[in-house]
Amino acid sequence: MTTIPVWVTERRRPRVVIVGGGFGGLYAARALKRTAVDVLLLDRTNHHLFQPLLYQVATATLAPTDITAPIRWLLRKQANAMVLMEGVTNIDVERRVVVTSAGREHAYDYLILAAGARHAYFNHPEWESLAPGLKSIDDAIELRRRILTAFERAEATDDPEERAAWLTFVIVGGGPTGVELAGMLPTIARHALVHDFRRIHPSESRVILLEGGSKILPAYPDALSEHARRDLTNLGVDVRTGTLVSDIGPHHVAAGEERIHAHTILWAAGNAASPLGKDLHTKQDRAGRVLVEPDLSIPGHREVFVVGDLAAVVSKGKPVPGVAPAAMQMGTAAAKSIRRDLEHRDREPFVYRNKGDLATIGRYRAIADFGRLRVTGVLAWWLWLFVHIMYLAGFRNRASVLIEWAYSYFTYERGTRLITGGGSGGVSKQEPVPGNW
């Protein structure tokens, strides 16, 4: 296990290609700042995304620009790093090249694959356009468009049944994203939209959270899951566990025995790792995640690392969860292994340091799990706020951003309720009704 790759002994600087500018890729690049390598980071977008707050863009609390920053700006002071906005389409581990959507090939000595995950629709790809998921900033803008448009349609229609369907929001999946979306929707309706409409009362809106398993937030201890469920119920969310979705149409969800009439269906039920994992020709788990060695490299290719949501890693006997801190730690660890190679030292196995799990429920509640210490309610929410402000500050690199962020978060009544783009979903059914407003 201690064979040193041949280029370590060569004269030229090794080339490290990083695929993906999320937490894994960005932290890997940053950790290579003082290493004698050339770094090329490839991402199909121009921005790093602060994904933990993505649901706040989807629910029109924050603006897209609040939680994104250009990757090349984040790495502007790192002279050994270059950024190209190119999506990677193929990886050839034998020739050691990645091929991009621009038709270009980039050769590497080391590859750090941090391509993340997309939504999985469990053999129902046709559900994707009916029930969009939330991974990218474009996804969030689309969800925001659908949610805000639903209230507009409800105001416009004269048919009570239609109005009810426009005011019904179904979220499929009771993990952190589903819970966070479900918790924000009643808040939008109650606090922000209540004065703006004339014919509907936004508090008439229904939010239904469907979870196939026996509890929401399955990664948390039972007591905390139960607490979160109670918090959601108090906010007016109809939480249904043990309920499988058997069908989704443009205007309904079939959940268990019931057919729910709803125009807005949001998907938070499953992840599928990036298809690039296949190109590595090594073992993957059911979700398509690549089974990696303890040092995060793949079997037979010590020069290829997989980090973040695309990696299936075991640390201290437990699978490492697909969360931002894990991705950051993996990115940093892969970079460290490269540095150790160059210093002719042995690599170390990756160890995940879980600093605790946090999930928010609405605007002022959360649950926190720090192993022995468990916190709920408003205190947990303040913890959540503190942790996210800390990270966002580091990422945006300016203290004053905090003020701005806090301002938008607390005042709410802002221009963030912007509908842009013109997809088809969610506004497809428009019944002609004679005007008698």
Active-site residue list:
180
Helix (H, G, I), strand (E, B) or coil at 242: coil
335 phi, psi to nearest 5 deg: -60, -40
Contact of 331 with 309, CB cutoff 8 Å: no
Q: Which is nearer to a second copy, 383 or 389 (CB)?
A: 389
Cα distances from 144 to residues 127, 167, 248, 264, in angstroms, run 18, 14, 20, 11
Contact of 67 with 401, CB cutoff 8 Å: no
Shortest distance in whole angstroms from residue 175 CB to a second copy: 25
Angle between helices 400-411 and 377-396 (to 10 degrees): 140
Shortest distance in whole angstroms from residue 429 CB to a second copy: 10
Shortest distance in whole angstroms from residue 62 CB to a second copy: 9
Cα 245 to Cα 176: distance, rounded to the nearest angstrom: 18
Within 10 angstroms of residue 136's Cβ, the number of other Cβ atoms is 17
Q: Which is nearer to a second copy, 234 or 397 (CB)?
A: 397
Q: Which is nearer to a second copy, 346 or 404 (CB)?
A: 404
* Alpha helix (H) residue ranges in 84-218: 137-156, 160-166, 176-187
Shortest distance in whole angstroms from residue 400 CB to a second copy: 6
280 phi, psi to nearest 5 deg: -85, -10
Amino acid letter, residue 54: L
b/e code 287-319 from CB counts within 10 Å (16+ = b): bbbbbbbebbbbeebbbbbbbbbbbbbebeeee
Shortest distance in whole angstroms from residue 419 CB to a second copy: 5
Shortest distance in whole angstroms from residue 267 CB to a second copy: 20
Q: Which is nearer to a second copy, 43 or 293 (CB)?
A: 43
Shortest distance in whole angstroms from residue 109 CB to a second copy: 13
Q: Which is nearer to a second copy, 123 or 424 (CB)?
A: 424
Entry field: residues in the chain: 437
Q: Which is nearer to a second copy, 84 or 387 (CB)?
A: 84
243 phi, psi to nearest 5 deg: -115, 115
Cα 431 to Cα 153: distance, rounded to the nearest angstrom: 10
Which residues are paired to 255 by β-bridges? Answer: 245, 258
Within 10 angstroms of residue 282's Cβ, the number of other Cβ atoms is 18
Q: Which is nearer to a second copy, 72 or 363 (CB)?
A: 72
Cα 273 to Cα 291: distance, rounded to the nearest angstrom: 12
Residues that bind a second copy (CB under 8 A): 38, 40, 45-47, 63-70, 72-73, 76-77, 82-86, 97, 101-107, 137-138, 141, 148-149, 152, 155-156, 195-199, 396, 398, 400, 404, 407, 411, 413-422, 430-437
Cα 255 to Cα 240: distance, rounded to the nearest angstrom: 9
